[in-house]
Amino acid sequence: MQTKRGQSIEDASMQMIDDEIGIHYYNEKEWPIVRRIIHSTADFDFAGDNKVIFHKDAIQSGMMALKNGCSIVVDVNGVIGGLNKQNPKDFQNKIVCNISDPKIMEIAKKENKTRSQISMRSALSDIDGGIVVVGNAPTALMEVINMVKEGIVKPALIIGIPVGFICASESKEELSRLENIPFITNKGRKGGSSSASAIINALYKLVRAELSS
């Protein structure tokens, strides 16, 4: 819950973003998500050179999944840290992050893969029909894409916005080529846990607005 003062600061910040961006081409549900990312990062590139890209079914599918109590599988604990904790409680969404499990490290060493790859494989049952949120590790995103191509999972939504230099842009481009899986991603190297959390928080706001209308 926001205090009245906190809400007034947030509202003023959002108005500043609107004023600085001016004309944009996002629709009425896409823009609150992009604006939330900008608010979380103070980076206007997410509406510019590193613009956010939406699959045509992304928002509807993500909102429906959240309302239906889907699991949310994240690549790193930093994404969890940025979430409004009340939302998953209210909608009974299980948050899954296996990256710190010692068994994941053991398997990763044995198979010469990253922990992020193995942690995603280990969450197969939660990914299928759930929402995947990748804000840090491009290898996590690529692993989920491979799982989709193998036909072993069909997520309701993939949020792929990893930050970095090695395979970050490439993994996002690969995600954007998936035709039958809803996704939210962005162009370029920018991204990060705070951006990923912002997208989920914004989706929850859209869900609450829809339910209260």
Active-site residues: which are they?
A: 39
CA angle 87, 90, 92 (to 5 degrees): 100
Q: How far apart are CA 103 and CA 116, in angstroms?
A: 12
- The SS3 call for residue 182 is coil
Residue 55 near residue 184 (C-beta atoms within 8 A): yes
Helix (H) or strand (E) holding 170: helix 168-176
Residue 126 near residue 73 (C-beta atoms within 8 A): yes
DSSP 50: T
Cβ-Cβ contacts under 8 Å for 180 (sequence gap 6 or more): none
Q: How far apart are CA 181 and CA 38, in angstroms?
A: 25
